[in-house]
Amino acid sequence: MPNLSWLPTFVWTDYRLAVLFTVVAPLVLLIWSAVKANEVLQRSLIIYWRVASLLAITVYLMIGAFPISFISGWVARLLIPISLWFWVDLNEEIREQQSSLLKICFTSWRWAVSIYNLLGAIALIPFLPCAFKPVETLINDRFCQIWFEPPWLYYQMVHTDRFKPYFLGFLGLIALGIYALYFAWFLVVRLARQGRSATGQ
């Protein structure tokens, strides 16, 4: 068996960066843009949060040790950069805004979170086979099981024994189904109707 002593450091560092780049920073920017009444940045960040909700779903799938969580987490890392750069009208309006500290911080974060997620998606490729293992094998395989440890710690801190891990994972599975239906509607209906315009104009 290969030496996996580096793996816990890698996984925990990734989760810490995820909290910083995908939760704390965009939340601060959303509040800031609301205070400044910057509708363009607000719209961009709201779209981001809709897409990034797949990361929250992934956390709950991992609490329940659902193998599909490896797929959903990987897909989320691909969709987040796309959601931030896909919209032609928003990109143009952001470029045309006058320079300000808010715009500089938003632009810096947009680049940083995009690079982080794309590199993360590449780094997760070797772990994708974990998605196709039986649960019993998965939780006993250190190469895969280490990814569950941060979500399990979150479960212990937030949920205690009120809900069982499998039940929370099942709720995550329901949320994933709703997310998939909404995404399918977006691809078939919304994208065909409005193209790469976030406002439909």
d(CA 136, CA 200): 48
Is 60 exceeded by the pLDDT of residue 19?
yes
* The pLDDT of residue 142: 87
* The pLDDT of residue 137: 87
Is 80 exceeded by the pLDDT of residue 1?
no
* The pLDDT of residue 149: 94
- The residues spanned by each domain of the chain are 7-194
Is 60 exceeded by the pLDDT of residue 190?
yes
* The pLDDT of residue 94: 94
The per-residue pLDDT of the chain, averaged, comes to 93
Q: What percent of the chain has pLDDT over 90?
A: 80
Model pTM?
A: 0.92
User: Phi-psi category of 37—alpha, beta or left, where left has phi over 0 and alpha has psi -120 to 50?
Assistant: left
Q: Of 33-42, 49-58, 125-134, 192-201, where does mean pLDDT reach its minimum?
A: 192-201
* The pLDDT of residue 138: 86
DSSP string, 83-123: HHH--HHHHHHHHHSPP-HHHHHHHHHHHHHHHHHHHHHHH
Is 60 exceeded by the pLDDT of residue 141?
yes
191-194's contacts with Cβ under 8 Å and 24+ in sequence apart are none
Query: CA distances (Å), 32 to each of 14, 28, 48, 99, 150, in order?
Result: 26, 6, 15, 15, 29
* The pLDDT of residue 200: 63
What is the per-residue pLDDT across 35-94, written as a single tens digit (0 to 9) for each?
999 999 999 999 999 999 999 999 999 999 999 999 999 999 999 999 999 999 999 999
Higher-scoring residue by pLDDT: 90, 195: 90
pLDDT band at 201 (very low <50, low <70, confident <90, very high): low
DSSP string, the chain: ----TTHHHHHHHHHHHHHIIIIIHHHHHHHHHHHTT-HHHHHHHHHHHHHHHHHHHHHHHHHTT-TTHHHHHHHHHHHHHHHHH--HHHHHHHHHSPP-HHHHHHHHHHHHHHHHHHHHHHHHGGGGGGGGS-HHHHTT-HHHHGGGHHHHHHHHHHTTTTS-HHHHHHHHHHHHHHHHHHHHHIIIIIHHHHTT-SS--
What is the per-residue pLDDT across 93-107, written as a single tens digit (0 to 9) for each?
999 999 999 999 999
* The pLDDT of residue 163: 85
